[in-house]
Structure 1
Amino acid sequence: MTKSRPCIASGVDQAAQDPFILRQYGEFWLELQGAILLVEQAANNLDEIWAKEFKLTELERGESAVLIATANAFAAKAGLAISSGILEVTGARSTASQYGFDRFWRNVRTHTLHNPTVYKLRNIGNWVLNGEIPEPGVYSQTGF
């Protein structure tokens, strides 16, 4: 935040004191922490069910698939929001190629295109509304 300027209407001298910028960074932090916690929960769950080997039930596998899909979809959503939002709070100069901030958004977007979030959301919605666990496969996250 050494080159960013606060909004003229903010009434502060430094960008790091601008209420809009502070709020945005607070939002980034919330989204990041939420994604981290979901990923850790899904990883711990996967470790637990993996240890069951052949004692694993279909329901346990399906619930784990939903949890993993949830973590994946939330992390994708958070990654896109944070990487887009960073450009908002750092100002117009931050879009210059010399800084390379755009690559973070591009990398997240590439991952979401290769591993489509829409299929995870469909599986999550089907589980929430209908109690149906995802069939093992590429887009259920746990194809075992």
Structure 2
Amino acid sequence: MMNRIPFALLILLFACSEPVKETEATQVENKSSERVDSAALEEPEESKTIIMPYIEPDTKSAALISKYLADNESKLSSPDTSQHLAYMTDYRERDGINYLTVQIGIDDEFRFATMQWLFIDTAKHQVYELDVVDDVLVPWP
């Protein structure tokens, strides 16, 4: 009689289990056989990285940037001594005037943390600091 109990339990388990539905099995097969088109993996056009050429400031503007950095070294210094100050330049129009914009900040491998924006009027060679909160240009001595 003891030999028949495991056999009876095994038969009972098979009898109580539900069969897999046809639709579930076909869904699993369809998902595993799907192929992703390589075009679908590309970045959308609006999110592609655009590499901008480096804009070399003229000698007078470069001298103004160097003077600003030297005069504001304590204001722009980072508590982490392993991080180095860097800047990026670009040309922008604001209020009908063309400016050389200078984005000063800390550059590490993965991001650029902006600390200060400068706008240099290249015609008058005047430096302005951007007050980000009020969105106004403040003349720098």
Structure with greater contact order relative to length (CA < 8 Å, sep ≥ 6)? 1
Task: Work out whether the TM-score is over 0.5.
Answer: no
- Relative to its length, the structure with more strand (as a share) is 2
TM-score, length of structure 2 as denominator length: 0.19
- Relative to its length, the structure with more helix (as a share) is 1
